[in-house]
Amino acid sequence: MNQALKLFVYCLLLAVVLVYLFVSAPPPLAENIQGKTLPSRLALELLQQENAHVRELYTKEIVGEGKKRKINFSEDWKLAEIHAGLLPAQFLRETARYLERSKVHLGLFLGSDYAINQANQFEGEQKVVFEKMKYTREAVYFYYPDAQRYTYMFPDVAVVNACVDCHNDHENSPKNDWRLNDVMGATTWTYPQERITVDAFLQMLTVLRQGFRVAYEQFLGEIEKMPVPPKIGDHWPREGYYVPSADQFMQEVRNRSSVSTLNRLMLSMIESDKEEQP
């Protein structure tokens, strides 16, 4: 590819990526970039980066600050008689369920060696990898032959006291001495192929963000049933008895994650082209 054509492709790619990262309803992908690929390792890393921003936002700004305003959160939020918001782990689980129903072949799982829910207990090779991760605190990328999937496992660290207290006080918890900054588990992503096209990655990113929105809308649906629900709009719990709308929440998600995702993706594409040069 000559330099002029390569520059054109990069400009086109940048324009498409900008739309997908910063606009809530992006148009269909351009055919011109369908041939570009990136390692699934990078794709999963970028998706985890987005997920980490959302988890921190929801955990600190919604759950942590919301509890100070007497907004209820409960693991039993689905029961008809309970009107409460999703806990952070359940927010991720609802996002993962949305991914499962999609066509992107992307897996998302939050596991632990001391899981409250036995469905989240690590087993086999994943447990071996996680035991090492607890000490290194570094993400691990590997091929998991049992599932025939490439797997990227990221440490899940207790960042707020609410997470620690919830696990320590839970009647079914197999461990009751968690402390802040402990590695409580791991967020695990899986994908069946070693490389992925850029347009497929952007579709993944779009579906993931749709999953975030669906999970957050479930939260809003529950708190609206409270006897005295907080006002839903442009304000956040730190400002009073408020929660942001879904549009406001997702705008903050884009604000926090889009620039870093864009920079990492474009740098990878440039590095990939350099490697392909003779």
Report the range of poorest mean pLDDT among 13-22, 46-55, 119-128.
13-22
DSSP state of 35: T
**Residue 186 identity:** A
DSSP state of 36: -
* pLDDT at position 268: 63
Reported as a pLDDT band with limits 50, 70 and 90, residue 276 is very low
The C-alpha angle with vertex 129 and arms to 49 and 112, in degrees rounded to 5, equals 70
- Average pLDDT score, the chain: 82
Q: Tens digit of pLDDT for each residue in 23-40?
A: 555 455 455 455 678 889
* pLDDT at position 152: 94
pTM of whole model > 0.95? no
Pairwise CA distance, residues 144 & 158, whole Å: 26
